[in-house]
Amino acid sequence: MNFLFVFFGGGIGCLMRYMIGLGFQRSSATLPWATFFSNISACFIFAGVLWIMQHKDVNNANLRLLLLVGLCGGLSTFSTFGYETYLLLKQSLYLVALLNILVTTSLSIFIFYLFN
């Protein structure tokens, strides 16, 4: 039964990721904003759900599977982040690639710090 919660959460996360990609599709920016926004959104959701579960004494394994494993797993895009960073390096956009790595990673970690 647990796999259904992961399946449905992942489906919702994947659809959210796809819709975010469509929203940024016409962007001519060098930084891959759709991936950045998806990853940061997944961190906000993940940190927020953890905070609620810890501070509101919510201990629901199904909710954890649905939102943290499924939704955030489908929404976050680490493999895409890696590939797009590789493409930036391949295009000799070294500063942009470094900025992408530093800002995405730092902001993701900072979000968890804010919710702790």
pLDDT tens across 21-42, in order? 999 988 777 778 999 999 999 9
pTM over 0.85: no
Give me 19's structure tokens.
């819709």
- Quick check: 97 pLDDT over 80? yes
Per domain, the residue ranges of the chain are 2-114
Torsion of Cα atoms, 107 then 67 then 3 then 79, to 10°: -20
Backbone torsions φ then ψ of 113, nearest 5 degrees: -60, -45
Instruction: Flag whether pLDDT at 46 surpasses 80.
Output: yes
- b/e per residue, 45-72, with b = 16+ CB within 10 A? bbbebbeebeeeeeeeeeebbbbbbbbb
